[in-house]
Amino acid sequence: MANPPKAGNFDEKPPMNVEEYDKFIRLFCGAYEEMFKLTHCYLRAILPKQAKILVAGVGTGMEILEFAPLNAGWSFCGVDPSADMLVLAGKKISEKNLAGEIELRKGHVSDLREEESFDAATCILVMHFLKDDGSKLELLESICKRIKPGAPFVLIDGFGEPGSMDFEEIKVAWKNYPIISGVPSETVENVFNEVIMKTVQFVPESRIMQLLETAGFTRVSKYFSGFLYGGWMGYKK
């Protein structure tokens, strides 16, 4: 693996090209592809054959690439503040020749009209970049306002209390994930110290549950856990 990417703005200084990004995220995010497959299974169990889905923080389009091929009646609106990431997403989606309505928009969820009323929403590996200073809650509230009552919402996010015994033990195990895939231990330490622990705003799982409830979600249940990442499914009240 080349030098690890530095945390930064994809628009101002892209840390890597799409091929390197895809390789990096799969090396350092345990069960990356599986979390999307599990989410896909959950949504297929809940949503009808015709559904409009909001993808908050679409990035390079992983949700759409996973969900769209087997669900021709689902339409997608992927929102992301990074124009460069949206270009990467659009390129990958075009290469797959996916049918159905797929729209990519530059901006934030709060930029969307509340009247658009989606049947479901996802927010995968996004909220943990926001500080718990009102920013996390603002994102969740923005999503909740734009989905129908009773609509499902998927959140996958980093969680835990840095410095606690459990957190530090799990972090050691997590570091072994890229190491057993061949990444030098020195590179792994650098990525954790300079990227992950400086950019991921971890909060305890109890705080995530509180944020979801405050934002307007109910019947929240955990369906995925991988090291210090968790996946929760809830419904708009």
Domain ranges of the chain: 18-236
Residue type, 213: E
Percent of the chain with pLDDT over 70: 92
**Mean pLDDT over the full length of the chain:** 92
- The kind and range of the H/E element at 219 are strand 217-226
d(CA 145, CA 117): 8
Residue 96: predicted pLDDT: 92
Q: Could you identify the residue written with the tokens 């330490």?
A: 189
For residue range 107-117, what is the model confidence (pLDDT) as tens digits? 999 999 988 89
What is the predicted pLDDT for the residue at 8?
A: 44
- Inter-CA distances, 193 with 175, 189, 200, Å: 11, 6, 11
Q: Which fold has domain 18-236?
A: Rossmann fold (3.40.50)
Residue with tokens 């923005």: 142
Per residue in 152-205, pLDDT tens? Answer: 999 999 999 999 999 999 999 999 999 999 999 999 999 999 999 999 999 999
- The 10s digit of each residue's pLDDT in 58-101 is 999 999 999 999 999 999 999 999 888 899 899 999 999 887 79
Asked if residue 150 has pLDDT above 50, the reply is yes
| Nearest CA-CA partner of 74 in 48, 113, 41, 109 | 48
Would the pLDDT of 4 be above 50? no
